[in-house]
Structure 1
Amino acid sequence: MEPAETLELQCALAWPPMTGERLGNWWLRAAGGFTGRANSALAVGDPGLPIADALGRACDFAHSHGLDPVVHAIKDSAVEHALTALGWVPNVAHEAGHEVSVLVGPPGGPAETSRMLEVPTPGWWELCAGTSEPTEAQRHVLTTAPVLGYGVAEIGTETAGAVRGAVVDDVLHVSRLAVHPAYRRKGLAADLMAAVGAWGAARGATRCALQVAVTNAPALALYERLGFTEHHRYRYWVPGAPSCEDRSS
């Protein structure tokens, strides 16, 4: 099993920010506030300078892009221990869940009815972004990666389910799996996973990775049924008061 840091970097390349700055092995990211992953400092490995100084750089970067500083760190890593010592705290207010399980499993497939597209449709956008007219940040994050595909499950003329797949090296990163409430409990989520899995395998992926908040019990149960297991967890951290003042003005 590869180190958590390696998988985190592969997943990050599948979910690119609009603006990024490398700091040693760290990656400072900004994308107009769209998702925690694209608007946090990915703090894995060595930043090339003392962690206290690296966190200061992360704070300055976030403030310069109109963001509250957030650090994305592997749970129980040396970085997390340093964050605690420096007065940072888990971001329990993060709406999508501050603690995330990174799961790995087989690509899966073939699908029965779902199919993969090269370009997202309005129905795909509605399910995966909540709008048929995505913002610049949504469009950038969701349509930028080395190899991308957009899965849809259609019933009649309606998009009943959708998913995003991105291949980085030999990893298929799956995200934005969504099924319209009117069509849940019909096996569409599993069929979409089969479709994106077969698509990824055809493009060199040997395994699949995805990220799920630890509080999302239905999703975790689905992925367990599909053969996924937990690889590691990460958490979002924010500075304790007042250790990260805004110096951008």
Structure 2
Amino acid sequence: MDSSETLELRCADAWPAVTVDKIGDWRLRAAGGFTGRANSALAVGDPGMPIGSALAAVCDFAHAHAIPPVVHVVAGSANERAIEAAGWVPNTGHAAGHLVSVLTGPLGEGAEEVPVLPEPTDGWWELTVGRPDPTDAERHVLTTGEIGYAVAEVMGVTAGAVRAAVADDVLHIARLAVRPDYRRRGLASALMAACGPWAAERGATRTVLQVAVDNAGALAFYERLGFTEHHRYRYWVPGPRACEDRSL
């Protein structure tokens, strides 16, 4: 089994930020504020300097790119303990949930009624980001890499969509969405299944996805599909006076 840090790196490869820098093994990421994952420092491995200095570099990078300083770190890891000791606190205000379960499971076996397209459609964009015209940052994050765009059409309406990305031998699933009027028809399961053969052709052997721990409905759905928790990660932000903007 992959270590939690190895799997975090695979997920990061599948969700590329617009700007990426490094301090040691840590990745500093910015993407105009589009998603926590693409606008946080991925604190896996050794930053190559004391934790306090690494966190100061995280703050400097965030200020330079006009995003809040945030660290994304494996829950319970030595890095997380050191970040807490440095005065940072869990980002409980993160709208999508600051504690996230990373799930792994099998590849789907296919769904003939759901194609996986090489380019996103307007309907795919509307379900994925809420409109057919994405920002430059959204377009970069969601279309960079080995990507497939699964769509479920019902009577000419894009009723469901999901993003599939292959990084090394992992299928990374994200942005699964079904319109409210079309739920409970098996479309979510069909979307997941459709991505399996597409990913297998590109070398994937298993699936990974990320779900906030308080999203009980999604966790139950993925459990029915055979997914189990591999590990968790948490977002951290500076405590009071822990991250001054040194450019001012």
**TM-score normalised to structure 1 length:** 0.98
Matching residue of 1:236 = 235
Q: Percent same amino acid at aligned positions?
A: 66
Q: Is the 8 A contact 2:51 2:86 kept in 1?
A: no
Equivalent pairs, count = 248
Q: CA deviation at 1:109?
A: 1.6
Matched, 1:212 2:215: no
CA distance in 1, matches of 2:170, 2:150: 17
Partner of 1:29: 29
Q: What stretches of structure 2 of length at least 5 have no aligned partner? A: none
Matched, 1:4 2:7: no
Alignment of 1:51-70 (within 5 A): 51-70=51-70
Gaps of 5+ in 1: none
Equivalent residue letter for 1:166: A
Partner of residue 18, structure 1: 18
Partner of 2:104: 104
Structure 1 segments of 4+ aligned residues over 6 angstroms from their partners: none
* Secondary structure of 1:7 counterpart: helix
State the match for 1:85 in structure 2. Answer: 85
TM-score (norm 2): 0.99
* Letter paired with 1:15: W
1:248 deviation in Å?
2.5
- Conservation of the 8 A alpha-carbon contact between 2:34 and 2:138: yes
Separation in 2 of the partners of 1:158 and 1:248? 49
- Any idea what SS the aligned residue of 2:138 has? helix
Residue correspondence of structure 1 range 175-194 to structure 2 within 5 A = 175-194=174-193
Provide the C-alpha distance between the structure 2 equivalents of 1:193 and 1:8, rounded to a whole number of angstroms: 21
What CA distance in whole angstroms lies between the structure 1 residues aligned with 2:207 and 2:169?
A: 9
Could you report, residue by residue, the CA deviation over 1:47-86 in whole angstroms, capped at 9, with x for unpaired residues? Answer: 1111110000000000000011000000000011011111
Do residues 222 (structure 1) and 221 (structure 2) align?
A: yes
Give the root-mean-square deviation of aligned CA atoms.
0.7
> SS at the partner of 2:62?
helix
The structural deviation recorded for 1:24 is 1.1
